[in-house]
Structure 1
Amino acid sequence: GPPGAFPRVAYSRIVSGEIPPEVFEGQIVMVGATTQILQDVFPTPFAPRRTMPGVLIHANVLDTLLSGIPIRRAPIWLVASLAAVAGGGAAWAATALRPLTAFLLVAAVALGYVAGTHGAFRWGRVWVEVFPVPIALLVPYVGVVAKNFAKEQVEKRRLSRFFSPSVVKEIVRQKDDAGLGAGRRRMTVLFSDIRGFTSMSEKMEPEEVVTFLREYLSEMTEAVFVHGGTVDKYIGDAIMALYNVPFEAPDHAAQAVRTALEFQRRLQPLAERFAVKHGSELRCGVGINTGDAVVGTIGSRQRLEYTAIGDTINLGSRLESITKDFNVPVVISEATWLEVKELFDTRYLGEVTVKGKEIPVKIYTVMDRTLDPAGQEGMPAAASISS
């Protein structure tokens, strides 16, 4: 037991006669030094200060012999089994549970085991190895957490190509990208393109083209993310963005229109610098359409990408090219117009027959009074053209 488990009497009290010899009659008496000066002290599990006088250690040995209940060591196979179970449990917890829940569970099991070994030694006189199980808990837990963290970072980088940081965070938080699987849903698609950029880029050095596109695409991508969109892909200077994916947004058509107007605002300072440096006017056309499409992770076994396909997407692309014919920055389909007509200042442009469709499509433009107080007076009146 601990230092106080056996009664101790100072030798001076016996010599002085304070305690008569009869007190020790029929008792086992052990004589030894307890002072730290003589250095007859040793570390033991029971000593509160990590040391116990040698005489008390001998007293414990004698007590064990006389009681017939020695301290037994737990079998190695038992400790090994507990360590194996603990390691497997820690790996499962780190994989299946939320990080905080897994950490609390592993910590609770480790502390519970340590307390159990102390209780087994103190009251059951069984010596159980303390460290194997906590180590078995810690090593796989840390390993799985590190692996999951690395995998999460790779996944975040992959998803950040398409989604805004807030959407990426939500996908990772749910630990489920089932919403990225291909399926039909109603959505809005936006296509944008810099008018005549191919011919302009021929007069620029390749390094200048790359530098400009990096700045331009960064600005436009930020606008897409700010308004809740998802970047599907870049095609040179063209951008394809999706709305109402991967999470539902009831105002997805309005989000796309706000993005288109934001494009025009963000383009102004870029266009001014471009004109000074290259002497060319920089203009951006945006086409928007709303309808059903198949959207999700689509591709081959070798390469997958998050995209959307269908007639809705094709029409959105055609509308972007029509902006040049009507000399307007934004063209939206009738389906989109029906969703946003109460929210924005719009104007009917007319009907167009686009490639691949026999029935003419009604189109509209959206005006931003902050950019054009005159309301784009220079654009043509409503007309019917083929594209």
Structure 2
Amino acid sequence: TPVPKPPGLDDDLWDEPTMIVPEPEPEAKQEEHSVNLSLNTIADAADPTQVRGALIVMEDISDEKRLKSTMYRYMTQELAEQLLASGETKMGGDRKDVSVLFSDIRSYTTITESMTAEEVVAMLNEYFESMVDAVFQHKGTLDKYIGDAIMAVFGSPLPLDDHAWMAVQTAVDMRHRLVEFNLKRREQGKKEISIGIGLHSDEVISGNIGSSRRMEFTAIGDGVNLGSRLEGATKQYGCDILISENTYRKCNPDRLWARELDYIKVKGKNKPVSVYEIIAIKEGPLAREVPQAKLDILDHYGRGRRLYLDRQFARAMAEFGMVLEINKDEKAAQLQLQRCQHYLTNPPEAEWDGAFTMTSK
């Protein structure tokens, strides 16, 4: 409403005052909280049938809910609930006996160089969805994605008595899932993929490592490094699942079709370790029949290795040659044959223990 000019005042002396409208105060920043709400009546002490008031208790559970949401990305809901109940979610870590699994897509760069970004992301999402489900099915924890690779831990953050067996079953399950994954891609006219898996069981440092703002369930140590090295070694032996002797011995060998491939020193380690290829699981839902030709290969290869370690290189060559007669693409037998030929002309030293030093990761 205009302010009226006072009576008797000349027009040139009158300035209509400016109305100042205060700016609205900024809205308070709203934060969403999750709460547990409980409501209890308060009875009269003299007459319990009379209600004299009410008690309302609100418990802020926002942090716990956010923590649960984060944990569900790395483990099953059941394992997350057990972990929260145990109080193991604090910062820090300790030494634990675990099995570490690494898997990686072979020739990833070559496969994806002719694909669009959208196709690469779609392929990886579908692949990870299936493989991580295999980890969760066997009580494992997803540690991290490393590009196209997966690192999983069995026996952390909560102890798992049969962690080695669970890890082996996961590896075999991933192999079976890959067959189904490739079948779909073949039907769609897309490139198939292959993977390598390395497993090692050892004592590692495990826990919540990071800052107060962001921490990560992870495992570190030589045991983790060896698992990664074994995954890389699958390329040299032409196999898809390679496990250490620690993992092999923690499982019941009678439940597995496996062969001792080699006795090696990996890059960065001085102590040699026996490594095994997992052929198949003998019983249970993951069991598969092993062809007779494969069983014959296991027989000849095993005899060849025993002769090789006994320095009978000529006889060992005959056994490895039989393996190649059955399957000319047997990469492990080709490697053993080359070593036998080398030692026939360059005999090993007296203290030779049969270990082969790998020069690549």
- TM-score past 0.5 threshold: yes
Distance 2:63 2:100 in 1: 31
Given that residues 83 and 157 in structure 2 are in contact (C-alpha distance below 8 angstroms), is that contact kept between their aligned partners in structure 1? no
Matched, 1:375 2:294: yes
* Contact 1:233/1:241 (<8 A) preserved: yes
Corresponding residue for residue 116 of structure 1: 45
Q: Of the candidates 137, 142, 155, which is equivalent to residue 231 of structure 1?
A: 142
Partner of 1:343: 255
Q: How far apart, CA to CA, are the structure 1 residues paired with 2:166 and 2:122? A: 28
Shift of 1:269: 1.5
Q: Distance in 2 between matches of 1:229 and 1:119?
A: 54
Which residue among 157, 168, 182 is the counterpart of 2:93?
182
Mapped partners of 1:119, 1:317: distance in 2: 69
Aligned residue for 2:201, secondary structure, equals strand
Deviations along 1:347-373, one digit per CA (max 9) or x if unpaired, are 010122211012332110111262753
Counterpart residue type for residue 248 of structure 2: W
Alignment of 1:166-315 (within 5 A): 166-172=78-84, 174=85, 176-178=87-89, 181-277=92-188, 279-315=190-226
Report the CA distance between 1:115 and its aligned residue.
3.8
Match of 1:51 in 2: none
User: d(CA) in 2 for partners of 1:157 and 1:349?
Assistant: 42
- Could you list the runs of 4 or more consecutive aligned residues of structure 1 that deviate by over 6 angstroms after TM superposition? none
The reply to whether residue 364 of structure 1 matches residue 276 of structure 2 is yes
Find the residue that maps to 2:95 and give its secondary structure.
strand
Q: Determine the C-alpha separation between the residues in 1 that align with 2:49 and 2:187.
A: 83
Higher share in strand: 2
Tell whether the 8 Å contact from 1:179 to 1:246 is kept in structure 2 after alignment: no
Indicate how the Cα distance of structure 1 residues 354 and 296 shifts in structure 2: closer, same or farther if over 3 A, else same: same
> What percentage of residue pairs aligned between the two structures are identical?
34
Shift of 1:130: 2.5
Point out where structure 1 has 5 or more consecutive residues left out of the alignment: 1-94, 122-128
The whole-number CA distance in structure 1 between the counterparts of 2:90 and 2:75 is: 13
What is the DSSP-based 3-state SS (H/G/I as helix, E as strand, rest coil) of the residue aligned with 2:233?
A: helix
CA distance in 2, matches of 1:120, 1:236: 67
CA contact (8 A) 2:157 2:217 kept: no
Shift of the 119–202 alpha-carbon distance from structure 1 to 2, 3 Å rule, reads closer
**In structure 2, the residue corresponding to 1:203 is in which secondary structure?**
coil
Residue segments in structure 2 that go unaligned for 5+ positions in a row: 1-34, 281-286, 298-326, 337-355
Q: Which amino acid aligns with 2:220?
A: I
| TM score, norm. by length of structure 1 | 0.62
- Which one of the candidate residues 132, 154, 157 is aligned to 2:66? 154
RMSD between superposed Cα atoms in Å:
2.6
Between Structure 1 and Structure 2, how many residues are aligned? 264
